[in-house]
Amino acid sequence: MEILYKNKDIIAVNKDCGLPSQKDKSGDTDAMSLLSEKLTDVGEDGRLWLVHRLDRVVGGVLVFARNKSAAAKLSAIIKEEGGIGKEYIAVVDGEISASGTLVNYLYKDSSTNKAFVVDRERNGVKRAELEYTALESVSTEHGVKTLVKIRLKTGRFHQIRTQFSYRKNPVTCDKKYGSRDFGARFPALFSRRLSFDIGKEHIDVSALPDLSLYPWCLFGRDKY
């Protein structure tokens, strides 16, 4: 787990796919504990505060606060509409051209740990919005694949996975949301970049997935 950026208030890492953001009922090793141990091993304060999460199966940029004051500030920034820039990249099944905006109402079914698009707002339903840009489409033995850049306008449970599945372009290898491509263990979704202002400092942290792995390897590095 690579450390991408740190100062006295925050620390950003490139979280691996399959790694929980924090301890959960599985008891598996988690990103927060690993990072705390890593800091302690080099003589630094290992205390961390979780201010946002990535789905277990999603890798990429994850930020932790290093003190209570920074945690409060970051939490406020994240809750503010447009307070934090969240950019993802994904490979999706099928062809997508140009760019656009997706707006849907999502309902989280806790019994299946899955989100669904519904037709209207009601109790337990949240509005979800994202912007996307198609970067390149390629034909493969598993069908057409499209590399997509995504900017979240809201942060809902399984938002990207649900919204693209609903438009018949599930994230590649995301079996939970309808992809029939089993070429990789985890869905091809990655937290590419986080940017925000905290105090007088502008933070902008980015990372890339392992481009040697399928399906990221289908596209040239210049497309990312």
- Which of these three, 79, 114, 134, is where a domain ends? 79
Percent of residues, the chain, with pLDDT higher than 70: 100
Nearest to 81 by CA among 152, 163, 10, 159: 152
Q: What is the pLDDT of residues 37-80, one digit of tens each?
A: 999 999 999 999 999 999 999 999 999 999 999 999 999 998 87
Which of helix, strand or coil describes residue 45?
coil
Q: Indicate the number of domains in the chain.
A: 2
- Rounded to two decimals, the pTM is 0.93
Q: What is the pLDDT of residues 90-102, one digit of tens each?
A: 999 999 988 999 9
What's the average model confidence in pLDDT over 179-201? 94
Q: What is the pLDDT of residues 176-188, one digit of tens each?
A: 999 999 999 999 9
Q: What pLDDT, on the 0 to 100 scale, is given for residue 102?
A: 97
Q: Which two tokens stand for residue 114?
A: 């899955």
Q: Which residue shows structure tokens 């289908």?
A: 218
- Which of these three, 49, 64, 79, is where a domain ends? 79
Q: Are residues 89 and 66 in the same domain?
A: no
Q: Are residues 68 and 9 in the same domain?
A: yes
Which domain range does residue 3 map to?
1-79
Nearest to 166 by CA among 206, 116, 214, 207: 116
Q: Rounded to 5 degrees, what are φ and ψ at 218? A: -70, -15
Q: Are residues 135 and 218 in the same domain?
A: yes
Residues 6+ apart with CB under 8 A from 71: 49, 51, 65
Q: What pLDDT, on the 0 to 100 scale, is given for residue 201?
A: 87
The DSSP letter of residue 175 is: G
Q: Which two tokens stand for residue 207?
A: 């990372």
